[in-house]
A and B are shown apart, each in its own frame.
Chain A
Amino acid sequence: MDNYPALIVVAPLLAALFAGIAAWIEERLSYPIAVIGLAISTFSAIMTLMTVIASGTIHYRMAGWAPPMGIEYRIDLLNAMVLLLVSGIAFLNLIASYKSVEQETSDRAGSFYTIYLLFVTGLLGVTATGDLFNLYVLIEITSLTSYAMVALGDKDRGPLASLNYVFIGVIGASFYLLGVGYLYLITGSLNMMDVAGILPALKGSSTVLVAFILCMIGVWIKMALFPMHVWLPNAYSYSPVAFARMVAPLMTKVMVYVMIRLMVTVFGFEYIFETLNIADAVVWLATLAILAGGVMALAQKNLKKMLTYIIVCEIGYMVGGAWMGNQLGMTGAILHILNDAIMTFALFLAVGNMVYKLKKVDLTDLKGLFGKMPWTMTGFVLAAFSIIGVPPTCGFFSKWYLILGALEKGAYHFAAALIISSLICAVLFFKVFEICFFEPMSEGHGHGESHSQVAIEEAPISMLIITGFVSLSLIVVGLYSGTIVNTIILPFLK
């Protein structure tokens, strides 16, 4: 079927509409509608990815209007991969969410699922679109829904965290919009390929420079690149856990995708790395982001907060890799989009299970968790190893490419930051493991078989299955990263 690319985005949009209406009639109806919508979307994403791998880039014209007049969806290998990632994670998280939504936001389940679907629609649209202004609108749809979601979370702090998120989010989006304005001013087009075709003739133009910088600043704010990250930890840790599980792995990663798209497709490597002279500065910024994220994570006393700072740290990996200006670095950055999304998802799934049982996840609440929630902790441990970068989990392999890229460019500070951040993450997670492993038995020796039999209180099976599946996929994706690089990333970069 030719309409799969459209279906990826349209299915959750329609589902959002129906789920919203259905919630008026009967609150419980919205969940199955959401599941169906995202299932269709995920399936279409798989089909699209297979088509793109088999027969190259798909140009999908909305309502048949040809670009540059009409709006075009241009699906190449990169966004086919990201589309599958987004829809897949959204779908899996939805299944795991049923119980947590029941527990956390049961009175507003209908609106939760509607906003959830709209958020996914926004992310998918951002990924699929080939039009610069369309991208802005979709980014704002994503942001608006996430503002609402954050406010649905923690009753005390949610609204305020959300409001601060609004302020910074608006600034970010506005910078991007302004950048697009300048691009339009000088090229007269908003279609990415069209703009990319016109730009090389305008190499020295200061308007292009301003446009580029404004776009980048806008995207960096949205992805929470240090020091523009201040909104992220509060917004993510006070939102409902069912939403945090999805927004944490996806939002920042999709914005990294936007950055790479602008760099590779619109402005072009040649312009960025040969005409402009800012790559070194950006790599330094990324290095700082990695170190600062790690150090701030060390200072946290709440598990959720700690993980959000790790996201800040991981953003540095991807930005640094993309700005390395060589194929290895870019390969690492793109591979890390995939890997980081999966491992952050796995981490937050585990945290979601803990929240479900414990309500609070301050580090001191986690005592003896290995005994109480062995399966959740197994998933958590695997995800943590992936963040640390222990082979054969996938985190190791993207780090591998990133460091190779840094060595090729001679950016030793970035390579060192990657290694140091691995060590910091090791310290971080083993601090958590220690609490989970030791605390209850700290007095006296734990001799005797009966002594250790703590009653197991696990999260619901639906959540456990998803946690297990995602954690195992960390290893599978890791082992097949060679295949992923060869079939998706390298052909894309050629």
Chain B
Amino acid sequence: MTDLLPLIVAKYNYWLYVILMMIGLYAMIAKNNLIKKLVGMNIFQTAIILFYVSIGYKKDATIPIIQSAHGGGHGAHEAAIHAADYINPLPHVLMLTAIVVSVATFGVAMALAVRVYQRYQTLEEDELRMRLSEK
């Protein structure tokens, strides 16, 4: 499927996901605030979702709903179906699952952040570290 895409386009979408991923990773490593880290995590996951979505895409293709099949019953399959006319639905379906996973992770992480805040009254990592070493 990729050989159908012009080289420049391929580079464009892959570069985008790599950049997004690095932004996310940077936030997760370098930021001091736990919420910022969470945001970074989310960007990181979204980058991968974008990557998957983009690999399913084909130029000049449409959504994979076979129009001629409508109402025609079995007889309507006569018209040949070219796979190249439809974008690949599988990566998109997979990403539905991945989005669910990432939302769930994000939810759990938020809940944990709330718990941390309730316990220590702060979300700054350096302050947390100080609190922990005090004890």
Binding site for B on A (CB under 8 A): 133, 136-137, 140, 143-144, 147-148, 151, 155-157, 159-160, 162-163, 166-167, 170-171, 174, 177-178, 181, 184-185
Contacts and interface: CB of A to CB of B under 8 A. Distances in A.
Interface of A is mostly: helix
Given A159-B119, A160-B116, A171-B44, A177 B98 contact: yes
| 10 cross-chain pairs, A with B, having the tightest CB-CB distances, nearest first | A159-B115, A163-B112, A140-B101, A166-B109, A159-B116, A159-B112, A147-B108, A160-B116, A162-B112, A170-B41
Given A177-B48, A185-B55, A171 B112 contact: no
B34 interface: yes
15 contacts: A140-B104, A143-B105, A147-B105, A147-B109, A147-B112, A157-B132, A159-B115, A160-B112, A163-B116, A170-B44, A171-B44, A174-B45, A181-B51, A184-B55, A184-B91
A167 B119 contact: no
Contacts of B87: none
Interface of B: 2, 25, 28, 34, 37, 41, 44-45, 48, 51-52, 55, 91, 94, 97-98, 101, 104-105, 108-109, 111-113, 115-116, 119, 128, 132, 135
A167 B45 contact: no
Nearest to B120: A160
B64 to A, nearest CB: 14
B interface majority secondary structure: helix
B18 to A, nearest CB: 10
A151 B109 CA distance: 10
Given A151-B111, A185-B55, 9 more contacts: A137-B98, A151-B115, A159-B115, A160-B112, A162-B112, A166-B105, A167-B41, A171-B44, A184-B55
Given A171-B25, A171-B28, A140 B109 contact: no
A162 B98 CA distance: 21
Contacts of A163: 34, 109, 112-113, 116
B108 A178 contact: no
A361 to B, nearest CB: 17
A171 B97 CA distance: 17
Nearest to A145: B108
B33 to A, nearest CB: 12
B105 A144 contact: yes
Nearest to A69: B90
A474 to B, nearest CB: 36
B48 A144 contact: no
A174 B105 contact: no
Nearest to A168: B28
A145 to B, nearest CB: 9
B108 A160 contact: no
B115 A137 contact: no
A417 B76 CA distance: 68
B38 to A, nearest CB: 8
B104 A174 contact: no
Contacts of B112: 147, 151, 159-160, 162-163, 166
A121 to B, nearest CB: 15
A257 to B, nearest CB: 21
B26 to A, nearest CB: 12
Contacts of A170: 41, 44-45, 105
A140 B103 CA distance: 12
B55 A181 contact: yes
Contacts of A184: 55, 91
B119 A156 contact: yes
Given A157-B132, A177-B48, A185-B2, A144 B98 contact: no
